[in-house]
Structure 1
């Protein structure tokens, strides 16, 4: 399904923006939390893209 690939692509973009936002965080704790959230979004997005490709949709 193309809609799932679009959603997965948005998740990847959000993850990239989260990781970039963590670079400007005011404290280490805030930066680590933001970076972790970004990496989780990246992981979920890439797994969704992989799943869509494996299913052949």
Structure 2
């Protein structure tokens, strides 16, 4: 979890916990995968949400 976010918004980070926030490395990995996708299996949309979010 980013220390910048923890220092800027400690209450939010503590309330949501590790699974309540998106991890920056997971976001980067997802978008890298999107960049490398094969044209025969193309996606037009990716929806990133933290594990604990209720739908």
TM class by shorter chain equals 0.3 to 0.5
TM-score, normalized by length of structure 2? 0.38
Q: Greater helix percent: which structure?
A: 1
TM-score, normalized by length of structure 1? 0.37
